[in-house]
Homo-oligomer: A and B are copies of this chain.
């Protein structure tokens, strides 16, 4: 099974209370595709500039990541984001965003990319997401991420694409912002009413809620003693989640729950070091071991009367 991600490959400069990293590898599609490639073949669709070196691209090597869709624009620079976190690592403060090559990004998917089983529309302007969506009428599952900027500045086009996709991955604060509803479950139901079958609400260090019309599933985040840099945690989660799901025969409630745990496992590795430094060194075996740790973390027995 295969999965296509359309998003950013980027350079980040990040400051946290525990250190800083200048101009390191980042981007939604980068984190997503490395995480997803542990489970499925990934088609990466993104754009880079002259400044993106072979050394930078080595993160994709020896993984199931097809780079046919990684377009290089001569004479321009790669997307750049600079941000910082205080002791509350749940909230990033953006210092600077340089769209660079991403400003003119108009992805045209090839046959292989269009017909992947799963499509992930990483955070981008909703019109770009709609353009990609319309190129992929045959996919089994389309998932979308978004951000506060588009809720504030592109509400109408965001609402249109929310009505088209199967699955929405969104932050808790964004659910409240979009729906203007303080109660998270009520807000989630408002978004489901637009069309998606499934809403995955990311809650940072508190984990994830999956809300469908039939059920709610709550997964905690892995309680780490070292959280170094939360950048990319959400996209890593999405990659682990959708990568695992694309590898299964059906997107049943049972498989969705497993997928959420695999996504949470991958994200828990990402935050242990800056950039993709931890993600690129882990093995499938370590991922499977931490899946078992999540079982121990959350398991309780039925009671006896």
Q: Which of A207-237 contact B (CB under 8 A)?
A: 207, 209, 211, 215-220, 223-227
- Contacts A206-B207, A254-B300, A291-B303 given; 19 further ones with Cβ under 8 A? A17-B182, A87-B182, A89-B182, A183-B224, A184-B223, A185-B224, A185-B225, A207-B220, A209-B220, A211-B223, A216-B223, A217-B297, A217-B298, A219-B298, A219-B300, A257-B300, A257-B301, A258-B301, A260-B300
Asked if residues B302 and A295 are in contact (CB atoms below 8 Å), the reply is yes
Instruction: Report 19 cross-chain contacts, Cβ distance below 8 Å, ordered by A residue.
Output: A17-B182, A88-B182, A183-B224, A184-B223, A185-B225, A186-B225, A203-B206, A206-B207, A217-B298, A217-B300, A218-B298, A219-B298, A219-B300, A254-B301, A257-B299, A257-B300, A258-B301, A262-B303, A288-B303
Residue of B nearest to A186 (CB): B225
Of residues 55 through 95 on chain A, the ones whose CB sits less than 8 Å from some CB of chain B are 87-89
Task: Please report the C-alpha to C-alpha distance between residue A66 and residue B120 in the assembled complex, in whole angstroms.
Answer: 60
Whole-angstrom distance between the Cβ of A222 and the nearest chain B Cβ: 9
Residue of B nearest to A203 (CB): B206
Instruction: Check: A283 CB closer than 8 A to any chain B CB.
Output: no
Q: Is the CB of B223 within 8 A of A220?
A: no
User: Any chain B CB within 8 A of the CB of A261?
Assistant: yes
The CA-CA distance from A215 to B257 in the complex, in Å, is 23
Partner of A218, one of B186, B220, B262: B220
Instruction: Tell me the residues in window 19-72 of chain A with beta carbons closer than 8 Å to chain B beta carbons.
Output: none
Classify the interface of chain A: helix, strand, loop or mixed.
Answer: mixed
Tell yes or no: A296 within 8 A of B by CB: yes
Copies in the complex: 2
Find the residue from A218, A219, A224, A297 having the highest chain B CB count within 10 A: A218
Bound-state Cα–Cα, A220 to B288, Å = 23
Q: CA of A295 to CA of B302 in the docked complex: distance in angstroms?
A: 8
Q: B217 to A183, Cβ gap below 8 A? A: no
Residues of B within 8 A of A288 (CB): 303
Shortest A157–chain B CB gap in Å is 27
The complex places the Cα of A217 from the Cα of B257 at a distance, in Å, of: 18
**A294 to chain B: closest residue by CB:** B300
Among B185, B223, B260, B300, point to the contact of A261 (Cβ < 8 A). B300
Q: How far is the CA of A9 from the CA of B185 in the complex (A)?
A: 33
CB distance from A291 to the nearest CB of B (A): 6
A263 CB, nearest partner CB in chain B, Å: 12
CA distance A115 to B84 in the complex (A): 54
The answer to whether B291 touches A258, judged by C-beta atoms less than 8 angstroms apart, is: no
Chain B proximity of A45: nearest CB distance (Å): 28
Contact partners of A185 in chain B: CB under 8 A: 223-225
